[in-house]
Amino acid sequence: MARNYAICIGINNYDNMPNLQYAQRDAELMRNYFFNEAGFEKENVYLFTDNSPQINDAGKPFNSQPTYGTLKRFLRERFDEEFLSAGDNFWFFYSGHGMRFNDRDYLMPTDADPHPDGVEDTAIPLYFVTERLRRCGADNVILFLDACRSQESSKGLGIGKEKQKGVITFFSCSPNERSYEIEDENIKQGSFTYTLLESLRIQGEGNCATVERLDNRLSYRVPDINLQFEKPRQTPYTVVEPATKYHLILFDKQAKLKDIATLENDAYQAEVEKNIELARQLWTRVLAVSPANEKALKALRRIWQMEEPIEPQAESYQKLLELVDRIQAIEGIQAGLNSVQEGRTFPAKQALTKLKQKHD
């Protein structure tokens, strides 16, 4: 099973910008969802709000108040070395002010200065965030950005026009719109975050386990919520890079057989197009969702045979074995996971070892 880490940032109180009402609550509810419902380890979810407790991680203490210095230091030091691997996910949630300046998208910490002379020195560039997150080693980096919440902060143009390489980004509104908070006693959240959590909790046939289904639901449900509570139109949209990850399975346990089949087809297509790195990522994701998937095992063997030199093959193989180890530990299957090969049954790690030995 894939490992999941997350950062949740929610900022109500600003030194130089209008305060918000529910951004901190948004971040806290997302944090709670990640480790109470999605099953993330509590120590793997980092919370940054106006009054969140100190973070002690990887042997280092970090202040968690979302100032410019705090966020920059955490992103710089925590992501200095890889700590995740193939098949893993890193999630980033931000609720607060955002703005666009000099053709760049910025997230605004609590002490950000929105003046043209202060933005570049006090705001966090979105490209810096994604560049640091990609260093963690996870195949999949997913961003949820509930930003651009007031006319004063967005300066007439919201974030979202700057494409972020190698990540999946869910924006709370289109670049020419704003995001809104819902004051209703039963909600008290940003309309995007409220709908996001509502969507992630759907079970059964209509669940939002893939990027595609989550994107589709957010795109129609958020405008409905805003209309219901007499807010201006707000249209979320999603940028997926590379585009093939539009069918990515976000939550393993909710995946359906057709989701796996679609992901297999995308992985095959990546191989045909000689995009070997993407093919490896997609096949590894298939294996994370379907641990004994024979197609994935055979495909990864093909990828080992295509790759040169030998060192990357060994590295890919080792990461795959680590993935199998995690699946076995989490599911508590002492006998190992089974893979079918030539009409006989082998433990998954044994099958992988045989494939590797045959290749070598």
**Per-residue pLDDT reduced to its tens digit, 27-63:** 999 999 999 999 999 999 999 999 999 998 867 789 9
Local structure of 189: helix, strand or coil:
strand
Task: Please give the pLDDT value at position 287.
Answer: 85
Please give the structure tokens belonging to residue 125: 């560039």
Task: Please give the pLDDT value at position 58.
Answer: 64
Instruction: Output the average pLDDT for the chain.
Output: 83
Q: Are 93 and 8 in contact (CB under 8 A)?
A: yes
DSSP 90-140: EEEEEES-EEEETTEEEE--TT---STTTHHHHSEEHHHHHHHHGGG--SE
Q: Work out the pLDDT band at 100, boundaries 50, 70, 90.
A: confident
Please give the structure tokens belonging to residue 142: 């997913």
97 pLDDT higher than 90: yes
Q: Are 159 and 100 in contact (CB under 8 A)?
A: yes
Task: Please give the pLDDT value at position 224.
Answer: 97
Q: What is the mean pLDDT of residues 258-280?
A: 90
pTM across the whole model: 0.82
11 pLDDT higher than 70: yes
Q: Where are the domains of the chain?
A: 4-247, 273-359
* pLDDT single digits (tens) 135-148: 999 989 999 999 97
158 pLDDT higher than 90: no
Please give the structure tokens belonging to residue 78: 């925590």
Dihedral, CA of residue 79, residue 85, residue 86 and residue 89, to nearest 10: -50
Task: Please give the pLDDT value at position 16.
Answer: 95
- Domain 4-247 sits in CATH at 3.40.50.1460
Task: Please give the pLDDT value at position 26.
Answer: 97
- Going from the C-alpha of 103 to that of each of 147, 184, 214, 235, 341, the distances in angstroms are 17, 35, 28, 21, 53
350 pLDDT higher than 70: no
Radius of gyration of the chain (CA): 21
310 pLDDT higher than 70: no
* pLDDT single digits (tens) 177-207: 889 999 999 999 999 999 999 999 999 888 9
Task: Please give the pLDDT value at position 324.
Answer: 55
Q: Are 352 and 340 in contact (CB under 8 A)?
A: no
